[in-house]
Structure 1
């Protein structure tokens, strides 16, 4: 059985909940301090990008809350650009765009199987 990293486990749980990216950072850091959140962005940016390519998660964006996870999927070739945008990770009181992560089409348990 694969030993999950803290980042992998956090992403897996948040994807199952359809969480916004800032929620992922808050959960991982166990802090409300947005400056602390920023230190986790590089690891999650890479992990989300990998897992989108493998089909384990989807990245979604929308103008309305909650993001309609079934219709607002970011195309795989645009994921890295969205993840590179600092505003995708920021908490805002009244954002013009929400960015969320949700489960993909492949079962995450395949990670345990060593793919």
Structure 2
């Protein structure tokens, strides 16, 4: 598992918001440092969601996965393509979180999302 995949897995286990994944990977609170990771995680999340390893939820109340609505597979690519989806948000603002899906990551094969 790559460092990016591991970061996504850990954050999905915690039901992290998208911006939290970037901050964790960049090990920085500076949003300017996060931007380089958006394409990597957008690709991973899109691939993993299609394959059932993660699911996305959006909402305004925390925890988002418990109070929000699941993002349909067909809308994930568009959602991940918006800069606003990755921006820092405070409570009661629209946010997107990622959680583990129905498939276990032990099923993930190397190069599956290339």
**SS of equivalent to 2:58:** strand
Structure 1 position 102 matched with structure 2 position 99: yes
Q: Which of 82, 86, 96 is equivalent to 1:85?
A: 82
User: Which residues of structure 2 form unaligned runs of 5+?
Assistant: none
**SS of equivalent to 2:89:** coil
Cα distance between partner residues in 1 of 2:41 and 2:100: 15
TM-score with structure 2 setting the length: 0.89
Alignment coverage as a number of residue pairs: 112
Q: CA deviation at 1:51?
A: 0.2
User: Which residues of structure 1 form unaligned runs of 5+?
Assistant: none
Counterparts of residues 56-71 of structure 1 (less than 5 Å): 56-69=53-66
Would you say the 8 A contact 2:59–2:67 is kept in 1? no
The aligned counterpart of 2:14 is 17
Q: CA deviation at 1:112?
A: 5.5
Q: Give the CA RMSD over aligned residues.
A: 1.9
Cα distance between partner residues in 2 of 1:73 and 1:9: 23
Q: CA deviation at 1:92?
A: 2.6
CA gap 1:40/1:100 in 2 versus in 1, 3 angstroms:
same
Range 99-108 or range 89-98, more displaced: 89-98
Q: Which of 39, 44, 64 is equivalent to 1:42?
A: 39
Q: Could you list the runs of 4 or more consecutive aligned residues of structure 1 that deviate by over 6 angstroms after TM superposition?
A: none
TM-score with structure 1 setting the length: 0.89
